[in-house]
Amino acid sequence: MSAAKRVSLRNGHDWSDRYPGIVRAAAGLRCNSAIIDGEAVVQDENGVSKFEALGSAIRRHPHSIILYAFDLLHLDGKDLRQETLFERRAGLKNLIGDDAHSRIQFSDEFDGDGAALFKACAEQELEGIVSKHSLAPYRSGRSRTWLKTKCFTESTFVVVGTDRDRKTGALMALLAHTEGLKYAGTAFITLSGDERKEFLGEVERLTTSWGAFKSSRSTDVKWCQPGLRVRVKHLAGSKTLRHATVRALEGR
């Protein structure tokens, strides 16, 4: 942060106007300038962050968004990136303080058995864990001293259509929840051989002009009647599908 407080994304875009609570909290920090690394989240009543709630909060309740800070890169003109993570986080914790109502909070670490922590996160259907080497200097991008381990789960969904990924052209399934046929999202189709042929044959057999979900951003959809169920591997901790792949036909 500096005299002109800003909230920037990884791509450098300035989103200060979308995070007014965080900007206001930054103005109260006891420093002339600082660059803080963290993640903006919205929490439910149990304190669990909800990815899909962030977009809605930016539009309607921006002051509910909290920045969980986990690293301090610069402080009052001093470059801290060559210091160890342990040292940087000690300075960060001192800078942020312990105001429970601030929109900037210190992200506490878990120092112990990483496998046990990951198991506990998976059991709670959380997204995953981030592991960092406490004696490492700061490095941009991914490295062996900075790892994100995601929790995946498998669920059954109903196929309501197919589309092509805008970037790669890969075939994707458009999926709905089995109860209520509420749109769930998309998943890349990783089936091969006879199972892939059967999937495509069923989609063709069930083809319809029925536009099931007008809210879908897909424009070249091939819709089908909801008669085919598939097993999908996807990231845990979200109501909508993320990092999802179709793994098998249900009941085959």
126-137 pLDDT per residue, tens: 888 889 999 999
Element (H, E) at 241: none
pLDDT, position 140: 84
What are the extents of the domains in the chain?
Answer: 16-111, 152-249
d(CA 192, CA 194): 7
| pLDDT bucket at 214, cuts 50 / 70 / 90 | low
Does residue 66 contact residue 103 with C-beta atoms inside 8 Å? yes
Q: What are phi and psi of 211, to 5 degrees?
A: -90, 95
Please list the residues that pair with 74 across neighbouring strands: 35, 79
Among 233, 252, 236, smallest CA distance to 244 is for 233
- H helices within 49-178, ranges in order? 51-60, 85-96, 114-123
CATH number of 16-111: 2.60.120.10, 1.20.1330.10, 3.30.470.30, 3.40.309.10?
Answer: 3.30.470.30
The phi-psi region of residue 181 (left if phi > 0; otherwise alpha if psi is between -120 and 50; otherwise beta) is left
pLDDT, position 2: 46
188 or 114, which is more confident: 188
Percentage with pLDDT > 70 across the chain: 94
The class of domain 152-249 in CATH terms is: mainly beta
Residue 158, CB half-sphere, CA atoms under 13 Å: how many? 16
* pLDDT, tens only, 154-170: 999 999 999 998 889 99
pTM of the model as a whole: 0.71
Q: Which of 4-8, 55-59, 98-102 has the highest mean pLDDT?
A: 98-102
Is pLDDT at 27 greater than 80 in this prediction? yes
| pLDDT bucket at 39, cuts 50 / 70 / 90 | very high
Question: Where in 89-236 does DSSP place strands (E)?
Answer: 104-106, 128-132, 146-150, 152-164, 171-177, 183-189, 222-235
